[in-house]
A and B are shown apart, each in its own frame.
Chain A
């Protein structure tokens, strides 16, 4: 009976939808394999960066878009994940080269574990930090929460800068092993997407969205709001930690200056442009924005705009993003996708896919 009601809204049959989904997944995997084989080093790096931004933007969207918690602490979470993973995977010799100002603390000097356990450890420790910071700050709302989480991120950065014998301070860590291969980063991106879809389309996801839509009503419906918020914050922290660690191992060098507020803003830009509360939006925006950030690099160099000639304005490409953000905020407040998601039905509705035949509908 339920199927009958739902079928009224469908324009693509269940069987057809399943086939299309399998084809799309196969095509995506094939594209990743082809990219890994044939892309030049620069393009491949951008391509992998897209995957990391998918992990990061989904993690921020879980807070901002699905739970309604305005958090600006992502750079802090990423820094924790990146440093812990880096310190655990670097070889003792590499650490010695890095720590020339002050030797590394003895208990860290000879530690070296494989990448995947280190990555998860980075994520788990970040999640613990999220729990610790979440307990007091999640009592706050809106802008106050944003300021508190922002403060947290800055504290993390300052602490890292000053823990010379653990993090190598402002010098940063160089020569991280290149573990963030195409397959690794895209595996995590896909894992994040699958996880988010499963979470959001579940009873627990409904609780999250209920809190976003109306916290007081959610409470009155028997949802333990404080608990659910913390869980969401911890999951988001875990994903951000993983994302940070992957980024570190892609760049192969990390330093505290990398994890400034503008990093959080880049992710926030993706979330807002893609649609606060849309997994599809975050995925699309992650790819588009990351590619644009690189493709628009020519704007930073000397330009000949016929009337005006510039000889290199570093950061000029960011003006494009600022303009884009303004246009979106004025004309399409809810971003590219709003809170809607991709579905084969919506493709059929806008005419990109043939509609279901009438006799197919009744199964």
Chain B
């Protein structure tokens, strides 16, 4: 589905991401890991159109999306969340999701202001969609609460729901478990699995929690200083000497634990 071909981006003299060849297959959960500053979020920003790669192309099915703007890429079916939560702070939970509904409703200024019957009908169905989506993820009782009044974990969840409301085929999650305790992180894992099953979408995620990535990813890429140093299944990654040296260091308790969990599952 998604394929980055020799994608490189430079900021002045710094090569932030070098020759990235990343593939995401249908209905697959793909992980992107690496130490801080390895270029993971930069890679995300290139895929979603925030940055334009210096060289290389990014293909989405058969479309070249390298030079498209973020909103055009979202329209093609790639939705993302952010490392630091970016909710619409002055809006309530429902409205946050409704913003994403605008995408498919072809919102037009004149119809909006005049509240034409066709507009009202679409608005009504958008509200129903948003509410049922919120119900699916257990946020319905908070629909009319202010988005920023939700606890941290639920704000993260809301951000994911908001991205889902654009009806994506690929969901990009930037450190969804950041700042979560082990319990919350494992709830999140469950949640991500459920999303893939319910919506039948692919997921590309950046994550630091080894437990999370090893547990749910089908395939992984490891970045270091902008270079891809390894790719493969979590098993292959956890035994890859390069990865252990560069990223995981000697202390790979998390990995061993994840391996054990993988074996159990």
Contacts and interface: CB of A to CB of B under 8 A. Distances in A.
Interface in B53-110: 69-71, 74-75, 79-80, 82, 86-91, 95, 98-103, 105, 107-109
Interface string B9-29: 000000000000000000000
Nearest to A224: B71
A314 to B, nearest CB: 41
B90 A219 contact: no
Interface string B214-249: 000000000000000000000000000000000000
Interface in A1-30: 1-2, 5-6, 8-9
Main secondary structure of the interface of A (DSSP, over half): helix
B114 A9 contact: no
A214 B88 contact: yes
B112 A202 contact: yes
**Residue among A1, A203, A214 facing the most chain B CB atoms (10 A cut-off):** A203
Contacts of B50: 216, 219
Interface residues of A, number: 33
A203 B98 contact: yes
Contact of A231 (B103, B109, B122, B143): B109
Interface in A191-246: 195, 198-199, 202-207, 209-210, 212-214, 216-225, 231
A181 interface: no
Given A216-B82, A223-B99, A210 B112 contact: no
B157 to A, nearest CB: 15
Contact of A203 (B70, B71, B119, B144): B119
B82 to A, nearest CB: 7
B48 A210 contact: no
Contact of B99 (A1, A6, A199, A221): A221
A142 B86 CA distance: 18
**Residue among A195, A202, A224 facing the most chain B CB atoms (10 A cut-off):** A202
Interface string B161-179: 0110010000000000000
B86 A216 contact: yes
**Residue among B75, B82, B89, B99 facing the most chain A CB atoms (10 A cut-off):** B99
A339 interface: yes
B115 interface: yes
B102 A223 contact: yes
Contacts of A205: 112
A100 to B, nearest CB: 46
A204 B90 contact: no
Interface in B128-173: 128, 131, 143-144, 162-163, 166
B131 A2 contact: yes
A263 to B, nearest CB: 28
B166 A198 contact: no
A277 interface: yes
Contact of A207 (B82, B90, B107): B107
A195 B102 contact: no
A199 B113 contact: yes
Nearest to A277: B90
Interface residues of B, number: 44
A9 B162 CA distance: 23
B126 interface: yes
A222 B95 contact: no
A203 B113 CA distance: 9
B88 to A, nearest CB: 4
B113 A214 contact: no
Nearest to A203: B107
Contact of A217 (B82, B98, B102, B128): B82
A231 B70 CA distance: 19
A217 B166 contact: no
B91 A213 contact: yes
A203 B91 CA distance: 13
Contacts of A1: 131
**Residue among B105, B108, B112 facing the most chain A CB atoms (10 A cut-off):** B112
A209 B90 contact: yes
Nearest to A340: B90
Contacts of A277: 90
A219 B70 contact: yes
Contacts of B86: 214, 216-217, 220
A354 B251 CA distance: 66
Contacts of B131: 1-2, 5
B112 A203 contact: yes
B74 A222 contact: yes
Contacts of A204: 107-109, 112-113
Given A214-B86, A225-B71, A206 B99 contact: yes
Contacts of B163: 220-221
29 contacts: A1-B131, A2-B127, A8-B144, A9-B144, A198-B112, A199-B112, A199-B113, A202-B119, A204-B109, A204-B113, A209-B91, A210-B99, A213-B88, A213-B90, A216-B50, A216-B82, A217-B86, A218-B88, A219-B50, A219-B69, A219-B70, A219-B71, A220-B74, A220-B80, A221-B166, A222-B166, A223-B102, A223-B103, A224-B69
Interface of B: 48, 50, 69-71, 74-75, 79-80, 82, 86-91, 95, 98-103, 105, 107-109, 112-115, 119, 122-124, 126-128, 131, 143-144, 162-163, 166
